[in-house]
Chain A
Amino acid sequence: MSTQAHSAGLWTLAWRRLLGDRVALVSMSVVALFIGLMLASSLDIVAADWNDEIAVGYARPSLFSATAVTEQAPEPEAVSAVIPQVGAGDTAIADPAAVLKQLGLDDIKITDPLAKELDQILATTPAPEIKPREETRPFGADKWGHDVLLKVIKGSETSIFVGLAAALVATVIGTLLGAVAGYYGGWLDDLLNWFYSIFTAIPYLLLILAIAAVLDQKGMTTIVLILGLTGWTGIFRLVRAEYMKHRTREYVQAADAIGASNFSRMFRHIFPNVSHVSLVQLSVHTVGFIKSEVILSFLGFGVPVDKVSWGSMLGEAQNELILGYWWQLVAATLAMAVLVTAFSMFTDALRDALDPKIK
């Protein structure tokens, strides 16, 4: 390595500034922790068993006295309350008539064509394993007895993934369109500005809801696309201004002189000089989209019902609060507040670190 040949580049300097800033370090670690949890959760390393009903419904949060309940806890569904007792004890059923009565099937006569089948089903149904349910969990449990901590981790997977992916879509669209508009100018600029004016004429949330109304299939991809396809306007404007500033600079003229194509000038020469704008915007939009996802999922226009997100947790918590079960609300709120605070502080630090004016 040549020692003094290169002075440190923008990214090295920015990285050094970030490492020297205590607030940036702490916030960066928190964000990294959340993203690590998200990845671990999506790979089923942690919180894979969040869907297990390990505690009684609405188990209270407590760090101590986690006594296990060995007898059958009351379950919300009537059928499952009966079935476990069917096979409890021996596999042979002692009193078939009583069992049938319990199942509400005692009107089936032995002459019934399906009677044999029913007998078979009753005989072969294995005794469901009754797991002891816990009275308390460190962070409490929800209506079905899911551990709230695991649920929060699983929810972070959805919320952070949607936020990051949507921000990436918006940043890529905004940067590409901004580069084209700012670099070429002329009718392309007019056309893209027309798009911009259309998208900004409709209030953001209204536009999102209108698209959600039209797309009837719900899913992670849908919500990422909705947020990404509507959220590019601010980035477009900033990147366009940067490209307009840079396109007449001498280094771009020099690139032109050595025969660089338009594409190469736009992305190999100019882009490294404006990429910090895109990076900061990526960070800003991630925070914004995490918040938007929570609201959309709460309203029921976000992720599908079988996915947990912080928004759907808040939706459940709204009804639980009236019954006095506050822990799911607190857990989801805290997780989101910590992540968003750290992410906002990290964004501010990133902006400062990348600002060439501070040296």
Chain B
Amino acid sequence: MSAFLLRRLWQMVPTLFGVILLVFVLFNFVGGDPAYLLAGKISNPAQIESIRNQLGLNESYAVQLGIFIKQVVTADFGSSWSTNEPVSQIIATRIGPSLVVLIPILVIETVLAILIAVLVAYVRSSLTDRAIMVACTVAMSVSLLVYIIVGQYVLAYQFGWFPVQGWGESLRENLLKYAALPVLLGVAVGIAPNVRLYRTFILDEVNQDYVRTARAKGLDENTVMLKHVLRNALIPIITNLMAYLPALLIGHFLIERFFSIPGIGREVIMAVERSDFPVIKAITIYVAIATMVINLLTDLLYKAVDPRVKLQ
């Protein structure tokens, strides 16, 4: 077990180095000299020169890469080029609102989707099943932009059931007042693909031999579905959920933008609009590290869910 952990952690090193290299090439090589960008933002030439020195732009690429790696290791990416706010502080303060919106979406969406998928699996290949599947396909073809635009317009602007946008101070106010409509729309967008996916996971299990055995020994359909099929189908469902977890850390770009939620997603979009490279670089690196850690945790979780899995 500990040998497995050590080896997996060791394997992260080349991947992390690759991510650092990719980001470095993008922002230092493809992006060109940031002095041109900065000239439009900062009027003081001395300040631009100090940022250039900080990035080592007058040195060789090897030195610049060294500086960047040092930034990653010490978690000090300097300050935003636009607001001068320290990048670490930006990330620390924006992650909360993102999670307040995304965790409820994830929980509600998953529970609902599993519930519907199980119900659909009961009536598999019936007309109801096919109708729900067609409805899911159609629901998935409508751009998520449309869900958000129409939802915000009808439910918030016309009916006035929710605030059109905004964000408060207390967690309770945010969760109950400001996050309610974003969560509702997030669930509406995510439910159809998840129902489709979970249904296939469940139907894959329904055709297994052990299900026939369970039926043969006289178990009723409920026990078969809930105790045998669903528990096995949970393995791919959990994989799917874990693969989604890193997305929590970057927030929901569109929802945060439409509802003015001060989360990471909106921050990334604003940073891209303003060419605020330190912020984008830092968020990309952190999310990549988090993704790798979460993937490792997924493997460990497998072991807990399915004793047959051997960690190698």
Contact = CB atoms under 8 A, between A and B. Distances in A.
B242 interface: no
A82 to B, nearest CB: 35
Interface residues of A, number: 44
Contact of A194 (B14, B26, B31, B145): B14
Interface stretch (A122-130, A145-153, A208-216): A208-216
A203 B272 contact: no
Contact of A198 (B22, B27, B141, B275): B22
Interface stretch (B211-219, B231-239, B277-285): B277-285
Q: How large is the interface on B (under 10, 10 to 19, 20 to 34, 35 or more residues)?
A: 35 or more
Given A294-B145, A295-B145, A322-B157, A210 B18 contact: no
Interface in B96-119: none
Contacts of B254: 295
Contacts of B157: 322
A255 B293 CA distance: 44
A212 B272 CA distance: 7
Contact of B19 (A202, A314, A317, A339): A202
A321 B21 CA distance: 44
A199 B250 CA distance: 16
Instruction: Label chain B's interface by main secondary structure.
Output: helix
Contact of A202 (B150, B269, B277, B288): B288
Contacts of A310: 143
B153 to A, nearest CB: 5
B142 A337 contact: yes
Contacts of A72: none
Contacts of B141: 336-341, 344
A201 B15 contact: yes
A258 to B, nearest CB: 39
B272 A301 contact: yes
A211 B153 CA distance: 32
Interface string B236-259: 000000000011001001100100
Interface of A: 194-195, 197-203, 205-207, 209-216, 291, 294-295, 298-301, 310-311, 314, 317-318, 321-322, 329, 333, 336-341, 344-345
Given A205-B250, A206-B250, 14 more contacts: A198-B19, A199-B22, A202-B288, A203-B250, A207-B284, A210-B23, A210-B26, A213-B31, A291-B143, A294-B143, A314-B146, A322-B153, A322-B157, A340-B140
